[in-house]
Amino acid sequence: MSIGGSDLDRAITQLRACRPIPENQVRELCYKARELLIEEGNVVGVDAPVTICGDIHGQFHDLMELFRVGGDVPDTNYLFMGDFVDRGFYSLESFLLLLCLKVRYPDRITLIRGNHESRQITTVYGFYDECLRKYGSANVWRYCCEVFDYLALGALVTGAATSLEPTDGPIAENTNIDIPDGDCDIEIETLNANGEIMYRYARNSDSQSSAASQANSNPASSSPIGPTPSRVGAAGTGATSSANGSSRNDTGAILCVHGGLSPLIDSIDKIRLLDRKQEVPHEGAMCDLLWSDPDEIDGWGLSPRGAGFLFGADIVKCFNHKNDLSLIARAHQLVMEGFKEMFESTIVTVWSAPNYCYRCGNVAAILELGEDGSNAGFVRRSNGERGGGGGGWVLGSNAGPNGNATSESRRLSSVLGDSMQRTRDGPGRRYRVFEAAPQDSRGMPAKKPVADYFL
């Protein structure tokens, strides 16, 4: 049975109702998805505007809440950074719905691979057992695992605006920090699920750090981004949220990966050269991209996960400088406040599974990047240009895609700590923070999650 046209729309409707589609339709869907994904490179090019999402982990009703808060496909462009399955009760419905939306609207949704999109991991953390329980065989699990092998390893977002158009909405209750007015150059804005403004930071504002510290030190605040334990991620990673504005690199491409960086990868072009169509290896560059975590260390460190590495601010800043990036967006770590910016806002962790494992009590977040409406967009460098290696991006100007010596020295100064004025700041960022879907919308789950520790 073919799953094209109206059949695909009916499958989307059925999956939105949290009902699995027949096995033969899953087979056809996975076949079409592989045909589509094989045409994508290891690093998918994505144009802003786009909404970036972190781990979903089979929490189907929370995925529906994400679409309610962020807008539905195809009205909103989405980029999901992996870990669609395991842990939650509805990995099957969540992944198949996203796959249907990818086949139906290929230019409106981008899916990249997480460390849980793996045969070995899914046999331990729930997806394999869920497929057996719902279909009576492992066939559907095999079809999905074949799709996993074709998912891209990263995405490069270009054309993002450096400032936000401020939201014209009410201030959230109990927000007791100063909200800059709409005439300022807004860099960061945080909204709750009702579209109410929780935080807003003007670019290079002196009040940013004090505002953030005031919010984090106020025990009476009802904001989801309130006081939390100092280390809430996986052991050794110290993931908590902060968003104090940026003082960093000056160009506008954003690299999205599930986990993080690798000591074997110093340029985006090296990611493009990997053979991704395989089971996730236990070591090497592909493994590192899906498993690594940022941490408050210098250089590289051993990861307590047993795969990938820990990496510090110096690694991120050098990588961003060499590849002309303003930001790395990644997922992979539980963050109680939904998002965390680290290392002077050069990297951000986005977590999109609220109340993880139905018991962690965290909120979730999505990151919206707006479109640069000016003519100063981002122009891809050719292979011969200094510092680009075919994968870099430089701010377009009247001088052409090469920029000039001044812009080169400014990029260099941002890494070396020079106080020279920057030509371009990082992207304007709007975070939408949301809580788990109401319990009465879920129905009774089939079984309890199996493991107590987090991958």
Tell me the catalytic residues: 116
Q: Transcribe 321-360 into DSSP letters.
A: HHTTEEEEEE--S--TTSEEEETTTTEEEE---TTGGGTS
Strand blocks (E) in 90-222: 109-111, 154-158, 186-191, 197-202
Helix or strand holding residue 347 (H, E) = strand 347-350
What is the C-alpha separation between 156 and 387, in angstroms, rounded? 17
d(CA 449, CA 220): 33
> Strand, helix or coil at 63?
helix
* Residues near 122 by beta carbon (within 8 Å), at least 6 away in sequence: 85, 86, 116, 128, 141, 145
Distance of alpha carbon 102 from alpha carbon 144, whole angstroms: 14
- Residue 356 DSSP symbol: G
Q: What is the sign, positive or negative, of the torsion defined by CA atoms of 183, 175, 357, 10?
A: negative
d(CA 289, CA 434): 27
Kindly state the tokens that stand for 305.
């996960």
Dist. CA 216–CA 228, nearest whole Å: 8
Alpha carbon distance 57, 252 (integer Å): 30
Single-letter amino acid code for the residue at 75: D
Residue tagged 């590289």 (tokens): 300
How many whole angstroms separate alpha carbon 245 and alpha carbon 209?
8
Q: Give the closest residue to 78 by CA, choosing from 100, 46, 37.
A: 46
Gap between the Cα atoms of 91 and 56, Å rounded: 9
SS3 call for 435: coil
